[in-house]
Amino acid sequence: MAAYLTRLAATGRGNVVYERAARNFFRTWPNPQAWAAQPLTDRLAADNQTRPVITFLMLHHGFRPGYDYLLERKLSSVWREIDGSPLETEIDRFFTASENLGFSMRVRLATGSQVPIRLLIQTGRGIADLAQSDLDEFAAACHERTQRTGINHPHYLAAISNTQTVLFHLVSCAVNSCKKL
């Protein structure tokens, strides 16, 4: 809780409503990871005042809310919150590698927000430690979401392909001593 309040103050977004929501969240879920075991509908019911603490936990404390949750939530606030988080360096490595491969800024940002950030959050591993099995698990979650909602989301599948290309490049560079990414 203290780390979250410090972060809010440092970013100029501290307010009583966010603090109250965070205190309630931690009172209800002293072990926040237990929240992730709740049914998806319950996790999605988190209100706008609680979502910032959930985002903070995802970026700073290895909180893994499940791919089902990550696919249902737009993560636009992640880009505002990632600065200074443990995931910042990891996503920067992804962006550098994708730029080196010639991906446009638009594609880098779209891909980064759709797949790698979700993989980093859910696996708790670094970008270079992600594997094909992680991409396969994410793709399975996308297909499950399509089955559940009846809505196809082809942008996720395209972003998985782009992510696979970048991850392959990172692994190849690690093996072949490419310039530091």
The pLDDT score that the predictor gives to residue 15 is 87
Determine the average pLDDT of the residues in 148-161: 92
Distance CA 169, CA 98 (A): 9
List, as own/partner pairs, every contact residues 111-114 make where C-beta atoms lie below 8 angstroms and the sequence separation is at least 24, other chains included: 111/159, 111/162, 111/163, 111/166, 113/75, 113/76, 113/78, 113/79, 114/155, 114/156, 114/159
Q: Which residues does 96 contact at the CB level (< 8 Å), separation at least 6?
A: 181
Judge contact between 163 and 155, C-beta under 8 A.
no
The pLDDT score that the predictor gives to residue 178 is 66
SS3 75: coil
Q: Is 89 exposed, middle or buried (0-12, 13-18, 19+ CB in 10 A)?
A: exposed
The pLDDT score that the predictor gives to residue 153 is 86
Tens of pLDDT, residue by residue over 83-126, are 999 999 999 999 999 999 999 999 999 999 899 999 999 999 99
Q: In b/e form, how buried is each residue of 139-169, taking b as 16+ CB within 10 angstroms?
A: bebbeebbeeeeeeeeebbebbebbeebbeb
- Tokens 């010639």 identify what position? 102
Tens of pLDDT, residue by residue over 25-84, are 999 999 999 999 999 999 999 999 999 999 999 999 889 999 999 999 988 888 888 999
Residue 175 has pLDDT above 80, yes or no: no
What's the whole-model pTM score? 0.91
- Residue 135's alpha-carbon distances to 8, 40, 95, 101, 146, in angstroms, are 33, 21, 17, 19, 17
